[in-house]
Amino acid sequence: MTDRLYIETTIPSFYHTLRTDPESVARMHWTRQWWAECAPQSELFTSPAVILELQQGSSEKTAERLALVAGLEMLEINDDVDRIVGIYIQRRVMPNDPGGDALHLAVASYYRMDVLLTWNCRHLANPNKMGHIRAVNRELGLPTPLVTTPLNYVGGDDNNG
C-alpha cells in the first residue's frame, strides 16, 4: 500500500535552502535524498497554505521551492479544517497562529494522511506533543498522521550498533 504524505512548507524550503550551517546543509541533503528515493513510492499532497508560505518567502529560491510542489495534489482548506485549527489552538496543541502549524496538522489529519513530512521539530515532529495531539484527534474522530522528518526515512545505517 502506498503512503499518502502531506508535504509541509519546510520540506521545499530545505530542499532549496541557502543556509550554509552544517545542520541546514545536512537537512538539505537528507531532504533531497528522501525526494529522490522515497517520494516516487508515495502519494504526495500539499495545501494552499504551503504555497502561500512559500510565496511570502524572500529567498531567491522561491520559484524553485514552488516548482518542487507544483505537481502535488492540492488539499482544500475548508470550514471543517478551519474548525479543527481552532480546536488545536484552543486546546493548546499548536501555537496560536491559524495559518501555521495548526493548519498543516489539521489538513493532514482531516484528509487522513498517513504522514505529515516536516522539518518543524518544535511544534510538529515533536514526540512530547504526540500524546496530546492523538488525544485531541481521537476526540474529534480523526486519525493522527505520523509526523516525521525525511531523516527518519533515509538516515543512519542500522549496522553501526
Cβ contact 108:133 at 8 Å: no
- Among positive and negative, which fits the CA dihedral 105, 111, 112, 114? negative
Question: Which letter, b or e, does each residue of 126-150 get, where b requires 16 or more Cβ atoms within 10 Å of its Cβ?
Answer: eeebeeebeebbeebebebbebbbb
- Full-prediction pTM beyond 0.85? yes
Query: Predicted confidence band at 143 (pLDDT cuts at 50, 70, 90)?
Result: very high
- Among positive and negative, which fits the CA dihedral 156, 101, 60, 48? positive
Tell me the pLDDT tens digit for each residue of 89-135. Answer: 999 988 787 778 999 999 999 999 999 999 988 878 888 889 999 99
3-state secondary structure of 51: helix
Tell me the pLDDT tens digit for each residue of 13-31. Answer: 999 999 999 999 999 999 9
Strand-pair partners of 74 = 46
What is the distance of C-alpha 48 from the center of its chain?
13
